[in-house]
Amino acid sequence: MVHTSTSGRRLAAAGLIAFAAFVGAARCPAGSGETVQGRHVGTFHSLSVSRGVYTEAKLDSWPEVNVFAYANVADNILTEVLDGELSVTAREGTCVAETTVQMSTLLPLTSVTATGDGSLVVEAVRRDVRAIGGSRILVGSLNGSVDAILRASGHGSSVRVGQLTLDGALRLLVEGEADVSVVEGHASAVHILANGSASVDLSGLVAERVQVVADGASIVLPSAAVVTGSCSGSGQLVVKGRPEVSVTKTGSCRVVRGGRRLAIAKRANATTAETPAVTEVVTAMETTAVEAMTAPSAAQPRGGVALALAATAACWLACFGRGAP
């Protein structure tokens, strides 16, 4: 777990980072470029902009943390660092696209927002991760003793956490065709609000209690002693283990006990197309956290196939194994 110094916490209380990543004009109509500026109050430890790779910022106050905004950067990028303020501006003819962010560790009192228009804001407020407008945020680890909030909204938006350890509660707000997943970890409580065609996979998480409100969403719940809430629309809840379940169902919503492999396999198949792209973008930097997060998804379909084959073999033996009389 990473700790901040007293001076770092004071700076954190007022600090604000904002910087932008851009893609070339190939994805945009000619002449439709936008100008986006970012500002950080403080001093950058290092800054680099590499064409087609990434924009990187390291903070003196948080030297343990790297925050990366990945994008294909156009040739006509202007970068300035003046008096501790960062300004990255796309000139005429360039445009803004989705942002992919990877963080090794999310520190206490930190808010991260990727807006999908190419901008990333990291603000010293609280553990609050937001991906909207098609943005993807990958967090290697999220630790601490306070509550954390993961938010994803809009088609293609996603938040993925490799390792989560919280003494407080984990709160999820997921809507539209967005998805949130946690590979492994534990939290004292989990509160989920998901609607639309949202997808939530907390299969590797352990919690004392879970409260869920789902409307049309597909959710794999964490292991817990108690599950309460409501489920409506055409979604489904997959319940792990044998918790005490008190869920109100309306519409065609299904609450499934077990079936974990099947549910995750379906989700993995749906997201296979985007995983290589995310991995490819992040290859320029450390890929350990990304591999940890993507490997389980890739492995699940094989587990589903193995289970299906085992079931088929058992049925075959039961029906025909005794031979003809």
Helical (H) or strand (E) element with 115: none
A 10 A CB-CB count for 52 gives 14
Low-confidence ranges of the chain (pLDDT < 70): 1-128, 133, 144-146, 258-325
- Contacts by residues 201-207 (CB-CB < 8 Å, ≥ 24 positions apart): 201/264, 201/267, 203/238, 203/240, 203/260, 203/264, 204/296, 205/164, 205/170, 207/170
How high is the pLDDT of residue 258? 67
**Residues 227 and 181 occupy one common structural domain:** yes
Measured distance CA(211)–CA(38) in Å, rounded: 38
Burial 169-198 (b: 16+ CB within 10 A, else e): bbbbbbbbbbbbbbbbbbbebbbbbbbbbb
How high is the pLDDT of residue 84? 30
Read off the CATH number of the domain in which 301 is found. 2.160.20
β-strand pairing of 77-82 with 111-114: unpaired
CB-side neighbour CA atoms (13 Å) of 268: 21
How high is the pLDDT of residue 211? 93
Size of the chain, expressed as the number of residues it contains: 325
**Residues 215 and 84 occupy one common structural domain:** no
How high is the pLDDT of residue 209? 92
How high is the pLDDT of residue 142? 75
Q: Which amino acid is at 291?
A: E
How high is the pLDDT of residue 145? 65
224 in Cβ contact with 244 (< 8 Å): no
Q: Domain for residue 297, yes or no? A: yes
Q: Domain for residue 321, yes or no? A: no
Q: Domain for residue 120, yes or no? A: no
Domain that holds residue 214: 127-310
How high is the pLDDT of residue 33? 31
Q: Say which residues have a Cβ less than 8 Å from residue 316's Cβ, sequence separation at least 6.
A: none
For 140, counting Cβ atoms within 10 Å of its Cβ (0-12 exposed, 13-18 middle, 19+ buried), the class is buried
Measured distance CA(239)–CA(231) in Å, rounded: 13
Measured distance CA(275)–CA(278) in Å, rounded: 5
**Residues 279 and 153 occupy one common structural domain:** yes
Q: Domain for residue 302, yes or no? A: yes
Give the tokens for residue 163: 């390792």
Measured distance CA(116)–CA(101) in Å, rounded: 11
**Residues 29 and 144 occupy one common structural domain:** no
β-strand pairing of 66-70 with 100-106: antiparallel
Residue where a domain terminates, one of 81, 96, 111: 96
Q: What angle do CA 198, 146, 196 make, to 5 degrees?
A: 10
Q: Say which residues have a Cβ less than 8 Å from residue 314's Cβ, sequence separation at least 6.
A: none
**Residues 279 and 162 occupy one common structural domain:** yes
Q: Domain for residue 81, yes or no? A: yes
How high is the pLDDT of residue 115? 52
How high is the pLDDT of residue 138? 73
**Residues 158 and 80 occupy one common structural domain:** no
**Residues 28 and 172 occupy one common structural domain:** no
140 in Cβ contact with 160 (< 8 Å): no
**Residues 277 and 135 occupy one common structural domain:** yes
Q: How many domains does the chain have?
A: 2
How high is the pLDDT of residue 190? 95
**Residues 135 and 237 occupy one common structural domain:** yes
Measured distance CA(227)–CA(206) in Å, rounded: 12
Q: Identify which of 182, 218, 205 has the alpha carbon closest to the alpha carbon of residue 297.
A: 182
**Residues 20 and 158 occupy one common structural domain:** no
**Residues 58 and 15 occupy one common structural domain:** yes
Q: What is the DSSP letter of 240?
A: -
**Residues 83 and 193 occupy one common structural domain:** no
pLDDT digits (tens, 9 = 90+) for 233-253: 988 999 988 888 899 988 888
236 in Cβ contact with 256 (< 8 Å): yes
How high is the pLDDT of residue 184? 92
